[in-house]
Amino acid sequence: MRRAHAALALPALAASYAAVEATRIKRMPRLPERSRDLDARVDPQRPGEVLDLLVVGDSVASGVGCTRPEATFPWRLAAGVARDLDRPVRVRSWSRKGSRVADARREQLPRLEESDDPDVVVTSMGANDATHLTPPTRFDDELLAFVEDLRARTDAPLVLTGVPEFRSLRALGVPLRTTAWLAGQRVHAQQRDLAAAREDVAFADVLAEVGAAFRADPGLLAEDGFHPGDRGAAVLADAVRPTVTATVRGAQGPRLAAVAAGPAGPAGVEADQR
**pLDDT at res. 253:** 52
pLDDT in tens, 198-217: 999 999 999 999 999 999 99
Of the chain, the percentage scoring pLDDT greater than 70 comes to 80
CATH number of the domain that residue 104 is part of: 3.40.50.1110
Q: 175 in a domain, yes or no?
A: yes
Q: 8 in a domain, yes or no?
A: no
Q: 12 in a domain, yes or no?
A: no
User: What rounded mean pLDDT belongs to the chain?
Assistant: 85
Instruction: Give the residue, 6 or 60, on which the prediction is more confident.
Output: 60
**Has residue 271 got a pLDDT over 60?**
no
Provide the 3-class DSSP secondary structure of residue 91.
Answer: strand
**pLDDT at res. 179:** 85
Q: 6 in a domain, yes or no?
A: no
How many CA atoms does the CB half-sphere of 259 hold within 13 Å? 27
**pLDDT at res. 257:** 52
**Has residue 4 got a pLDDT over 70?**
no
CA distances from 47 to 86, 88, 91, 201, 247 (A): 7, 7, 16, 28, 21
Domain count, the chain: 1
pLDDT in tens, 164-185: 887 777 766 667 778 888 899 9
Sheet holding 51-57, edge to edge: 38-42, 89-93, 51-57, 120-124, 158-160, 201-203
Which residues span the domain enclosing 102? 31-273
Q: 88 in a domain, yes or no?
A: yes
Of 75-89, 93-107, 231-245, 253-267, the poorest mean pLDDT is in 253-267
Q: 108 in a domain, yes or no?
A: yes
**Has residue 23 got a pLDDT over 70?**
no
Instruction: Give the residue, 192 or 11, on which the prediction is more confident.
Output: 192
**pLDDT at res. 174:** 67
Q: 47 in a domain, yes or no?
A: yes
